[in-house]
Amino acid sequence: MRRIWEISSIGVIFLIIISTLIGFVGVGVVTSNERPPIGQAPPVNTTTTTDVISQSQGEDMQAYTVTASNMDAIDAAQLTEYGEIGTRADRRIELTMSPSDLAAVRNISWVIDVRPVMHPEPAQADIPGSAQAAGENNSLGVQQAHQNGVTGENIEIGIIDKGFDADNPTIESNVVDTQSFRRSPGNPAHGTSVAEIVTQTAPDSQLYLVSTSTGTDIEAAISYLLSEDVDIIVHSQGIPALNDDGDHFLTDDINAATEDGSLFINAAGNEAQTHWEGEFRDTDTDGIHEWTKSGDELNCLQNCKVEYSGSITVYIRWEDQGKESHYRPLLFNPRIDQYIAIDDNRVFATSTGERYALLRVKNIQSQPVDLVVDHVSGPADDRIEVIIPSGPRQIQRNIPASSIIAPGDVSDSLTTAAYEVGPRQLAPYSSRGPTDDGRTGIDVTGYTNIGVTNGLYASEEFRFTGTSAAAPYAGGIAALVEDNQPGDQSPAEITDTLKSSSDDILNVGTDAASGSGVINAADAVDALETEAPTATPESTMNPFPDGIPGANAEGPPTDIDDDGKFEDVNGDNGYTFDDVIALAFADTERLTNQQRDALDFDHDGNIDFDDVVELAFER
């Protein structure tokens, strides 16, 4: 048996530290001098001997979204004087031009806004096991429904993605029409796999495939699909530049789809373990954000014990509380004590006023990498949100709560989290609510890790992962519900059926991580289903049904603030310093992986004394 306090070689040291922490909690104030000397980042201008990767705006042609005062005011011919026009949707039209012409276009009488285009990110998680062949856990729970003749016949489903192989034998017979709003073809692997999962669940559904590259493309795609009168729209992408408050340029389009009778289904995102949100904190006034109350300025990718290589995309979002502020993401190598990547100091703004900075880096050679957030200018009094949609699948300091990605934040979207059938658990990477405006965010949870055989991932059989798989699974089940009910079902009716027939996998009732629970296909289509393993809420509702070993618990611990971490360690339904003591005496060797994750308060993948300290500071 190994308890956290036994990690220290001298028990007295533990008692001294605990006593000190009690003093901190009692007075509620911790000064910078009392914090442990951990994770300090140097000033950015100290990097002089290393080649630093920097994004450069330059004079290359760039794509912008031009917004007019009204759709009839757009003069496309006038815009061609500055560059090449692209997709047009409602009041917006895309223009690829030199940045030097930006001021001139903004001065056109009918133009009210010009901003760089926003690009969606696919919601497929590149996680270990994604290349495994489909196996015994590939059951989707729909076989009995199919045998009963419920196959989604004549249900029209629109799919919006980067690209498709419409002639692929796995989907060819279902494709009715294709449309592209892109300037050039996109990679077909992701979109084709999304479509294949729809055909696995609803084999007689009819598919409308729409290829997109930008936010304006997505608007145009929704408009096109509504003109085709589709029943369901599946979108397994997200736009990290947008705040998740449900109020942005895609909101009206999704609401219009609902009003028109089309159910809009969006993937929740895969950012639960690559998301951080909170007040910008700089107690030592060095301009560098502190990820924890104990003062750590470095956030390891993907943890502090491994090196990272490959590409990475980082967004920082904030909404100015008064005067304009500027933050930027940096990548730092602690081994050589130098920054290896910085952004180009540009700040972007959305049409609703939120601001964001973006860093994209390719071909990072294997090395230790830390994420640093630098305050460049302004009052530094804002709440910041950090999202890594591509690159490492985990960061050391992460906050899963409110990691949902737009447009899954729109209230009329059926937003779908990911459920792993094998271990019978919510996928750890699956983005969570609540939204920034306080709604639950997640509606339902769908199966992920689904085998596809389209051959587009350099393998005859491939396990498609992430909420990218869960959304089309939900879309296929929705088609079965529509097929099995008399008359036309409204989006609200289909949503109610999916929610009311779902199985709880976390807390009883609706929660911000799994929504109403994992979709039960058999119950949703009113078919007797015995083949598929379904969720078992009795064993998965709380990872500690018998309390925490060695913690002298009064009962099962609870998640006080619904952030995925169980602060009520001793199970007394409160959150006091007794929970810190209980965690210190927990028998860590007897914890399962799911239990470890629930007690990993410093988000480093381990349960050790740092978690006791972090829980104490949080308290």
Phi, psi of 342 (to 5 degrees): -135, 160
User: Taking the chain, what is the end-to-end CA distance rounded to the nearest angstrom?
Assistant: 27
Going by the DSSP 8-state scheme, the letter that residue 321 receives in this structure is S
Question: How far apart, in whole angstroms, are the C-alpha atoms of residue 482 and residue 490?
Answer: 9
Cβ(330)–Cβ(44) below 8 Å: yes
Whether 161 is catalytic: yes
Whether 468 is catalytic: yes
CA distances from 352 to 71, 113, 348 (A): 19, 11, 12
Selection from 124, 107, 106 nearest residue 115 by Cα: 106
Question: How far apart, in whole angstroms, are the C-alpha atoms of residue 14 and residue 6?
Answer: 9
Selection from 202, 196, 85, 116 nearest residue 151 by Cα: 202
Cβ neighbours of residue 542 closer than 8 Å, sequence gap 6 or more: 556, 557, 558
Question: How far apart, in whole angstroms, are the C-alpha atoms of residue 90 and residue 219?
Answer: 8
From the list 294, 468, 501, 516, the catalytic residue is 468
Cβ(178)–Cβ(201) below 8 Å: no
Question: How far apart, in whole angstroms, are the C-alpha atoms of residue 226 and residue 254?
Answer: 10
CA angle at residue 151 from 146 to 153, to 5 degrees?
A: 155
Q: Is 262 helix (H, G, I), strand (E, B) or coil?
A: coil
Q: Burial code of 260-290, b = ≥16 C-beta within 10 A, e = fewer? A: eebbbbbbbbbbbbbbbbeebbbeeeebbbb
From the list 119, 146, 165, 190, the catalytic residue is 190
Burial (CB count within 10 angstroms: exposed 0-12, middle 13-18, buried 19+), residue 293: middle
Beta strands at 62-68 and 111-116: parallel, antiparallel or unpaired: antiparallel
Greatest alpha-carbon pair distance for the chain in Å reads 79
Helix (H) or strand (E) holding 147: helix 143-147
Selection from 474, 442, 417 nearest residue 233 by Cα: 474
Could you list the beta-strand ranges (E) of 162-239.
175-180, 206-211, 232-235, 237-238
From the list 90, 119, 146, 161, the catalytic residue is 161
Cβ(97)–Cβ(224) below 8 Å: no
Question: How far apart, in whole angstroms, are the C-alpha atoms of residue 80 and residue 27?
Answer: 65
Cβ neighbours of residue 522 closer than 8 Å, sequence gap 6 or more: 141, 144, 145, 528, 529, 532, 534
Q: Is 375 helix (H, G, I), strand (E, B) or coil?
A: strand
Whether 490 is catalytic: no
Phi, psi of 300 (to 5 degrees): -70, 145
Residue with tokens 């369901």: 232
Cβ(409)–Cβ(402) below 8 Å: no
Q: Which two tokens stand for residue 420?
A: 């792993």
Cβ neighbours of residue 303 closer than 8 Å, sequence gap 6 or more: 394, 396, 604, 605
Annotated active-site positions, please?
A: 161, 190, 468
